[in-house]
Amino acid sequence: MDVTKNSLADINDILRNTKELKEKLKENLWNKSDFLKNGTIRDQVRLGVAGWKKRYYKLKFAAETDWDSEITRNEIVQKYTEGLLWVLLYYFSGVPSWAWYYPYYYAPFSSGMKGLSQVSVKFQKGQPFKPFDQLMSALPPRSAHALPKPYAKLITDADSQIIDFYPTDLEIDTDGKRHAWQGICKLPFIDEERLLSETLRLEKEVTVRLHFIYRTRFMSLYILYAFNETAFYNILSRKKLKEMK
């Protein structure tokens, strides 16, 4: 009986100590990422201090002169407005453009959005990315295993023509941020034309089975009690192989 009590006491001590260790570790990690508490916070823009707008456009958009700042502001407002409209149309009407993206790392100030009604927006519908192309535009090199081998090489091999899209080291802008996780990761923007020129050459290298996945016009939802890949493939093959020839 005493042995059992001692064992339970030991277990309780272990659980309590483990909990305390986790809480302390969490606290230390939080404090380490808190630039304000550890005295490493940077704030070059200094919002509210005279000249803050000029500093913002100079630091974030490389606008050296007042003229550059004005031109840059107009371009940003144009693209930001397009983004607002894109989201609105996406939810209430459908995708207005498959190729559109916001080409900046930073947003305009709300005070810079005056004259919004003067902004003219026109989208080009375009075509959606095929599944592997979409993955190629989103996955980091560490996730290359999620791609067929020919595609994986494009984001891992040093001699890839688009390896610059997948840096292993990148700038994270934490200026004006209190915590590291608030930083802006300055990943390169994907050049659609360059990406597709590379993936197009690989389409013939994928297997027939993967070709089913690759085709964007073959979109259906199948709900199976137990998924059997071979049986699933055979069912679809009889219906779709003729279309692929």
- This prediction has a pTM of 0.71
Radius of gyration for the alpha carbons in the chain, expressed in angstroms and rounded: 26
More confident residue, 99 or 212: 99
DSSP of 14-65: HHHHHHHHHHHHHHHHHHHHBTTTTT----SS-TTSTTHHHHHHHHHH---S
More confident residue, 202 or 35: 202
Report the chain's mean pLDDT, rounded to a whole number: 83
Cα–Cα distance list, 172 to 38, 48, 153, 162 (Å) = 18, 24, 26, 21
Cα–Cα distance list, 229 to 145, 214, 236 (Å) = 19, 16, 11
Instruction: Give the confidence band of 127 by pLDDT, cuts at 50, 70, 90.
Output: very high
Cα–Cα distance list, 204 to 199, 213, 240, 244 (Å) = 10, 13, 17, 12
**Quick check: 46 and 55 in contact, CB under 8 A?**
yes
What would the pLDDT profile of 20-48 be if each residue is shown by its tens digit?
Answer: 888 888 877 677 777 777 777 888 999 88
The helix/strand/coil state of 184 is strand
What would the pLDDT profile of 155-177 be if each residue is shown by its tens digit?
Answer: 999 999 999 999 989 999 999 88
pLDDT at 28: 75
Query: Average pLDDT, stretch 84-92?
Result: 96
